[in-house]
């Protein structure tokens, strides 16, 4: 069985991290944020607050990734902190619920665009897209990284185009807003904005494949959040201004409306194609890096052993197959708004685990200096994670039931397979990194 190898550079990780964040959310969710908060000022505040929380989270993850530089990322942090049982619950809630739901949500929106050109039901197209991208990633991690260089460049160009067209529309004298925007629950707005920022954490999953993870991950994490925060707030503001603050700014795809207003039918076609490329890109990168959670679980004896298998080109193909299968079921049966609520609840629970693990890992592995965000960044993460759990659970309790059902099914398979669970500090990967680490940036090989 092949092992993960250090094939990736910092620029590869940055392209992948940006590709994980920039996708369906920023084009679909600016209108949801406005509708759920009641207006521009409150929506802008929501974008800024969530972005600031994510920036604090990036500092927090940079600290943890230096202390536990493993492919499992946040799962590894929880395992080191609390042991196998809690790591099993956390890891499979992440690998079996939150991650497949994110893949399903992005594929679902991409399929809505594809349905305009391909005469098939949107849900069927979402399934085809997920399977096709999974097959692509069998070519290996380097092939996936090269693809992300191209796709991420396209995403940044698309954002720049929407911002430029919005400014042009506003300078040309945007008409007064027309119609009355429909209000939605604040829970949907919070879930939409949180979902839009999600993805920067995925860079830590590459810790065993980066050539210099302790040096590069802090730069990648903080840089990704800072850049996307500026871009998302700018796009939200100029699209609202360009559309005159009317009901169209609160719609499903305000950026598409901007392109239609400025360029007519050509703008509609071009923007749909660019958005589709962006959505396919974020779905692709999710399938590229996130199977490493299930792989790490299996490698530590907390999942079926075959999930730990890695191909010669660096693809954890069995874990990729499992993630794709769950995402296909969710895409075929769920709606985008329902998936958002499921994601919000699951990530809230996961955030509580991750933040709590920070305090324990710092105590167990004190060799590195304290992060500059201590203790306010982790405390803020605890508050927002608890809020996501409460709001998501009260607003749509099916998110709790769906999460529990998926986790119960995985636990049943695990119980039947009866793999040997390895204690928190005795797995092969933990032992590899158990010695005190040096803060020097070029210490690793």
How does pLDDT run across 325-344, given as a tens digit for each residue? 999 998 988 776 677 667 76
Q: Look at residue 445 and tell me if it is in a domain.
A: no
CA angle 394, 395, 396 (to 5 degrees): 100
Q: What is the pLDDT of residue 179?
A: 54
- For 169, other C-beta atoms within 10 Å of its C-beta total 22
- For 329, other C-beta atoms within 10 Å of its C-beta total 14
Tokens of 9: 């550079």
How does pLDDT run across 230-246, given as a tens digit for each residue? 999 999 999 999 998 88
Per-residue pLDDT for 2 more than 60?
no
Confidence of residue 431 (pLDDT cuts 50, 70, 90): very low
| Residue 159 near residue 232 (C-beta atoms within 8 A) | no
Per-residue pLDDT for 45 more than 80?
yes
Q: Look at residue 203 and tell me if it is in a domain.
A: yes
Cα distances (angstroms) measured from residue 89 to each of 82, 94, 291: 11, 9, 17
- Chain centroid offset of residue 147 CA: 18
| Residue 207 near residue 8 (C-beta atoms within 8 A) | no
Q: What is the pLDDT of residue 224?
A: 93
Q: What is the CATH number of the domain that holds 197?
A: 1.20.1740.10
Q: What is the pLDDT of residue 301?
A: 87
Q: What is the pLDDT of residue 55?
A: 86
Q: What is the pLDDT of residue 358?
A: 87
Q: What is the pLDDT of residue 356?
A: 85
Tokens of 335: 């709606």
Per-residue pLDDT for 427 more than 60?
no
Q: Look at residue 439 and tell me if it is in a domain.
A: no
Q: What is the mean pLDDT of the segment spanning 89-99? A: 87
Helices and strands (DSSP H and E) totals, the chain: 17, 0
Q: What is the largest CA-CA distance in the chain?
A: 67
Distance from C-alpha of 250 to C-alpha of 30, rounded to nearest angstrom:
7
Q: Look at residue 323 and tell me if it is in a domain.
A: yes
Confidence of residue 194 (pLDDT cuts 50, 70, 90): confident
Q: Look at residue 73 and tell me if it is in a domain.
A: yes
Q: What is the pLDDT of residue 97?
A: 83
Half-sphere CA count of 205, side-chain side, radius 13 A: 27
DSSP, collapsed to helix, strand or coil, labels residue 301 as coil
DSSP, collapsed to helix, strand or coil, labels residue 366 as coil
H, E, C per residue of 56-93: HHHHHHHHHHHHCCCCCCHHHHHHHHHCHHHHHHHHHH
Range with lowest mean pLDDT among 110-119, 175-184, 337-346, 370-379: 175-184
- Chain centroid offset of residue 345 CA: 14
Q: Look at residue 5 and tell me if it is in a domain.
A: no
How does pLDDT run across 15-33, given as a tens digit for each residue? 888 888 887 678 888 998 9
Evaluate the omega torsion of the peptide bond into residue 375 and state whether it is cis, within 30 degrees of 0: yes
Residue of higher predicted confidence among 124 and 384: 124
Q: Where are the alpha helices (DSSP H) in 140-212?
A: 141-171, 186-197
DSSP, collapsed to helix, strand or coil, labels residue 440 as coil
Please list, in sequence order, all residues whose beta carbon lies within 8 angstroms of the beta carbon of residue 164, skipping any fewer than 6 positions away.
none
Q: Where are the alpha helices (DSSP H) in 172-291?
A: 186-197, 213-242, 254-289
How does pLDDT run across 196-211, given as a tens digit for each residue? 898 888 888 888 888 8
- Round the average pLDDT of the chain to a whole number and report it: 80
Whose CA is closest to 302, among 89, 74, 3?
A: 89
Q: Look at residue 131 and tell me if it is in a domain.
A: yes
> How many structural domains does the chain have?
1
Range with lowest mean pLDDT among 5-9, 139-143, 232-236, 436-440: 436-440
DSSP 172: T
Range with lowest mean pLDDT among 74-88, 93-107, 188-202, 359-373: 359-373
Range with lowest mean pLDDT among 90-99, 104-113, 126-135, 379-388: 379-388
Residues in the chain: 445
Per-residue pLDDT for 229 more than 50?
yes
Confidence of residue 176 (pLDDT cuts 50, 70, 90): low
- Which residues constitute the domain of residue 347? 10-420
Q: What is the pLDDT of residue 1?
A: 46
Q: Using CB atoms within 10 Å of the CB of residue 376, give its burial: 0 to 12 exposed, 13 to 18 middle, 19+ buried.
A: exposed
Q: What is the mean pLDDT of the segment spanning 306-335? A: 88
Half-sphere CA count of 424, side-chain side, radius 13 A: 19
Q: What is the pLDDT of residue 438?
A: 36
Distance from C-alpha of 335 to C-alpha of 290, rounded to nearest angstrom:
22
> Which of 131-135, 200-204, 246-250 ranks highest by mean pLDDT?
131-135
> Which of 315-324, 400-409, 426-435 ranks highest by mean pLDDT?
315-324
Q: Look at residue 440 and tell me if it is in a domain.
A: no
Distance from C-alpha of 274 to C-alpha of 261, rounded to nearest angstrom:
17
Range with lowest mean pLDDT among 56-70, 171-185, 341-355: 171-185
| Residue 278 near residue 158 (C-beta atoms within 8 A) | yes
Q: What is the pLDDT of residue 175?
A: 60
């Amino acid at each position: 069985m092949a092992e993960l190898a250090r094939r990736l550079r910092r620029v590869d990780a940055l392209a992948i991290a940006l590709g994980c964040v920039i996708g369906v959310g920023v084009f679909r969710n600016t209108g949801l944020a406005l509708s759920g908060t009641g207006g521009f000022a409150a929506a802008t505040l929501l974008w800024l607050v969530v972005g600031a929380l994510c920036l604090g989270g990036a500092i927090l993850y940079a600290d943890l990734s230096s202390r536990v530089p493993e492919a499992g990322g946040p799962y590894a942090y929880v395992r080191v902190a609390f042991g196998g049982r809690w790591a099993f619950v956390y890891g499979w809630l992440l690998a079996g619920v939150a991650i497949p739901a994110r893949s399903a949500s992005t594929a679902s929106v991409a399929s809505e665009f594809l349905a305009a050109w391909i005469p098939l039901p949107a849900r069927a197209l979402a399934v085809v897209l997920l399977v096709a991208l999974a097959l692509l990633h069998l070519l290996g991690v380097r092939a996936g990284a090269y693809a992300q260089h191209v796709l991420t460049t396209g995403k940044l160009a698309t954002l720049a185009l929407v911002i430029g067209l919005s400014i042009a529309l506003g300078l040309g004298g945007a008409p007064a807003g027309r119609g009355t925007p429909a209000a939605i629950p604040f829970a949907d707005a919070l879930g939409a904005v949180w979902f839009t920022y999600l993805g920067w954490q995925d860079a830590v999953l590459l810790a065993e494949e980066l050539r210099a993870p302790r040096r590069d991950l802090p730069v990648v994490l903080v840089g990704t959040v800072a850049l996307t925060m500026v871009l998302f707030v700018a796009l939200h503001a100029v699209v609202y201004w360009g559309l005159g603050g009317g009901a169209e700014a609160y719609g499903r795809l305000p950026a598409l409306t901007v392109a239609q207003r400025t360029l007519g039918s050509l703008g509609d076609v071009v923007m749909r194609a660019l958005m589709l490329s962006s959505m396919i890109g974020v779905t692709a990168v999710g399938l590229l890096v996130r199977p490493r959670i299930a792989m790490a679980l299996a490698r530590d004896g907390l999942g079926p052993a075959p999930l730990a298998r890695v191909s010669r080109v660096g693809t954890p193909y069995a874990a990729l197959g499992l993630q794709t299968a769950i995402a296909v079921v969710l895409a075929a049966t769920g709606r985008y708004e329902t998936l958002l609520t499921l994601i919000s609840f699951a990530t809230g629970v996961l955030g509580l685990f991750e933040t709590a693990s920070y305090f324990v890992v710092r105590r167990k592995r004190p060799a590195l200096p304290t992060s500059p965000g201590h203790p306010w960044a982790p405390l803020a993460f605890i508050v927002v994670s608890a809020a996501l759990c409460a709001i998501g659970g009260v607003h749509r309790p099916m998110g709790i039931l769906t999460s529990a059902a998926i986790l119960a099914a995985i636990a049943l398979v695990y119980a039947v397979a009866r793999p040997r669970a390895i204690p928190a500090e005795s797995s092969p990967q933990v032992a590899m990194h158990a010695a005190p680490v040096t803060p020097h940036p070029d210490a690793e090989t």
